[in-house]
Amino acid sequence: MRIIVSILFFLGWGSALVVSAEPKEISQKGCRECHRFSSDESQPKQGPDLFYSGNKFQKKWLKKFLQSPEIIHEVTFSPKLDLVNGKSKVIQTHAKLTKNESERVTNFLMTLQLSGLELGKINEEPLSKAQSARAKISFERTFGCISCHRALNLIGRVRGGVSGPSLVNSGLRLKPDWIFHWLKTPQRFMREGRMPLFNLDEEEAIRITKYILSIRKKS
């Protein structure tokens, strides 16, 4: 294992200091070929950025995913993608890790965080039926999230676009505060990509965050 000291600077984003031991699996499994581990990497890559993994992912889910990967983002896009002619690229098979390997990699990834993200914005109180209905209208019609993201219809069937990652069971995968900040200021996490800036007020961002957390398949 080698010691990495990374100082991540962001234009208007704040900064994060990460001092951690990088497990050998990161290089052995070729993780850097598909993911950016630092904001200093300017070239977009096929997989999601991981330099804020600790802000974004639920640790329990991440550990399980690394052992048994599932397709979350069916199609990847680059800033130069020709959407009119449908030139897209299907994600390649993700590497599988053993239990011990996933433990080491997960612990490392959870240390990669952006500083300055306010926590505690989302409480555990669920939306009322009226609030949920209103949030669903905003999600599907007002902001058109369903055009790019998978969700569930009224009878629990998966529907929606594939240009963005699926939001089905996202409450198991993503941290509530990260979803809130992503909706409010996506540019804080990405310098390129297709996530629009909606200029949501705090109340609406909280409501849509809770709705996204509720998009869950019945087991």
When computed from its CA atoms, the radius of gyration of the chain, rounded to whole angstroms, is 18
Q: How many CB atoms lie within 10 A of CB 179?
A: 25
Tokens (6 digits) for 44? 């977009």
Cβ(181)–Cβ(200) below 8 Å: no
According to the model, what pLDDT value does residue 218 have?
Answer: 81
Mean pLDDT, residues 143-170: 93
At 92 the pLDDT is 60
The secondary structure of residue 80, as a DSSP letter, is T
pLDDT score at 137: 95
Q: Residue 103: which residues within 8 A CB-CB, separation 6 or more?
A: 63
When pLDDT is cut at 50, 70 and 90, the band that residue 186 belongs to is very high
Exposed (0-12), middle (13-18) or buried (19+): which is 216, by Cβ within 10 Å? middle
Paired sense of beta strands 14-22 and 2-10, if any: antiparallel
Taking only the tens place, the pLDDT of each residue in 90-133 is 446 789 999 999 999 999 999 999 998 999 999 999 999 999 99
CB 116: neighbour CB atoms within 10 A? 12
Portions of the chain given CATH number 1.10.760.10: 129-214
User: pLDDT higher for 79 or 149?
Assistant: 149
- Please, which residues have CB within 8 angstroms of residue 153's CB and are 6 or more apart in sequence? 159
Cβ pair 58, 174 in contact under 8 A: yes
- Asked whether 153 and 65 are in contact (CB, 8 A), the reply is no
Assess whether pLDDT exceeds 60 at residue 73.
yes
CA atoms within 13 Å, Cβ hemisphere of 152: 15
Share of the chain above pLDDT 70, in %: 82
Q: Smallest Cα–Cα separation from 160: which of 206, 202, 212?
A: 212
Instruction: Give the architecture (CATH level 2) of 129-214.
Output: Orthogonal Bundle (1.10)
Look at residue 13 and tell me whether its pLDDT is greater than 50. Answer: no
Pick from 59-63, 80-84, 172-176, 200-204: least confident: 80-84
Measured in residues, the chain has a length of: 219
What is the pTM for the complete model shown?
Answer: 0.82
At residue 47, does pLDDT exceed 50?
A: yes
